[in-house]
Chains A and B, each alone.
Chain A
Amino acid sequence: MSDQQRTSDQQRGAAGDPERASADAGVAAPSSPSAARRANQSDSPPPDLKKQRDEFLQSFSRSARMTEQLVRDYEKLAERVVQLEAENASLRAKVEADDAIRDLLRKIDELEREKTELISRYTEAKRTYSGLSERVASFEEEFSNLANLFVASNQLHSSLSPRRVVRRIKEVLAQLVGAERYAVYLLNADGTALAPIASEGVPSESLSPLPTDLVDGTGRVAEVLRTGAAYVDEEVDTSQGSLQSPPAVIPLRLDDEAVGVICVFATLAQKTRFVTIDFELFKLLGQHAAGALICASLQAESGHRRPNLEAFIDLGT
């Protein structure tokens, strides 16, 4: 126990017990009534001192009560402080939790924005990819078409044998165009008759001789020969064509003159219409087949002799 507490206890005890207070104050209590009397007669304090003592004791007692009250108040306040601290901590936690929720909501908003942006970018990428895929498919188709044209051209001009050139023309028609029945005609020297030089899937008696009105008349072949423009029917089922109405008649041109025609009477069953590459192949055949044929024929006629260099001198000047 501290000195301060001890003093306080002593003070409280004195305030509650007047006899003890007086003993503590150095006043001995009389042990018997006679002794008290004697004491009163001999040692009793003067009345003013007694009054002072009483006043002191009353004051001391009041102070003690006040102190007790203060201690109680202090204890209450301490409890209140503890309570407030707890409340404060709770509120702080709540505020922090609210902040965390706000942070989370903010993050959710940000993520939602990011998600929307990503979806938008994904959609855009998908559209771009789809566009690219279409372009790749388009390039592949174009490449395929160019390969067909290159191969056809290469094959047409890779031989100086008329037989082989005819075979290559037939291959282009059968393998690349998908023609099942067709014939190749050339005009005779004076341009009065069309002679079939090659055919496939058509009885030979049906081909030769062609009626002369095909050349002079109004039929498809006659018109193609006259105008030099190809006839290609894009509406009909090309696999169902006939000798009377071929779905394609292609002029064979030498310089600007039509010297023959290719008639496609019908295509393979699985090919029911002409497509882009067929038009290009028709153009190629029209421009190159006659030249290749005639060149090969002249070469054959000359005994496959190469022309003298003199034949080429001064061509470029």
Chain B
Amino acid sequence: MAEYSCLIVEDSPMMRQLLVFALARVKNLRVTEADDGVDGLRKLASARYDIIVTDINMPIMDGLKLVKRVRTDPIHKDTPIVIITTEGSQEDRQRALQLGANAYITKPIQAPQVIATVKELLKIE
């Protein structure tokens, strides 16, 4: 059975823990954590990931900048990206999707929604 890898980029330890808990429910998904955008890019440079879940509001490098950088990375330019943010307006959503994000989840997150989104993007039954 195929094994997938997921990179979570989130500065809040609480949210990271929550996302790890949620994504542990997806079979054959290996999860790696990164504290912010820079840490995320470092991890993306050292390994290949099948999906990226990132917060927008982060210190040092925010999620939108990360999305831009990932889309220019030849290895990860097609990797699905899920944006998690407190901003729920349609404009924010459009902005994130235009930058290259594949899905947009607003806080407070619901684990079933995160699981369903990741499964859908990875095409897991």
Q: Does B28 contact A (CB under 8 A)?
A: no
Residues B111 and A171 in contact, CB atoms below 8 Å apart: no
Query: Which stretch (A19-27, A56-64, A136-144, A285-293) binds chain B?
Result: A136-144
The segment from A96-104, A116-124, A149-157, A226-234 that touches chain B is A149-157
> Considering only CB atoms, which chain A residue lies closest to B13 in the complex?
A155
Q: A137, A148, A177: which contacts B18 (Cβ < 8 A)?
A: A148
Looking at the complex, which one of A144, A176, A268 makes contact with B106 (CB distance below 8 Å)?
A268
Known: A175-B108, A177-B108. A151 touches B88 (CB 8 A): no
Is there a chain B Cβ closer than 8 Å to A308's Cβ?
no
Could you tell me how many residues of chain B have their Cβ less than 8 Å away from some Cβ of chain A?
A: 19
Considering only CB atoms, which chain B residue lies closest to A156 in the complex? B14
In the complex, what residues of B have CB within 8 A of residue A155's CB?
A: 13-14, 17
Task: Give B1-44 interface residues, CB cut-off 8 Å to A.
Answer: 12-15, 17-18, 21-22, 25
Q: A147-B111, A268-B107, A270-B88 are in contact. Are A175 and B21 (CB under 8 A)?
A: no
Cα distance A80–B107 when bound, in Å? 99
Contact A268 B86 (CB under 8 A): yes
Residues of B contacting A248 with CB < 8 Å? none
In the complex the two chains form, is B14's CB within 8 Å of A151's CB? yes
Q: A175–B14 contact, CB under 8 A?
A: yes
Residue from B13, B88, B111 in contact with A144 in the complex, judged by beta carbons closer than 8 Å:
B111
Question: Is B108 a contact partner of A171 (Cβ separation < 8 A)?
Answer: no
Which residue of A152, A175, A177, A271 contacts B12 across the interface (Cβ within 8 Å)? A175
Q: Counting CB contacts under 8 A, is B98 at the interface?
A: no
- Contact at B14–A268, with CB atoms within 8 Å? no
**Binary per-residue interface labels of chain A (150-191) against chain B in the complex, 1 for a CB within 8 Å, 0 otherwise:** 111011000000000000100110111110100000000000
Within 8 Å of chain A (Cβ to Cβ): is B72? no
A43 to chain B, nearest CB (A): 125
Selected contact of B107 from candidates A152, A154, A175, CB within 8 Å: A175
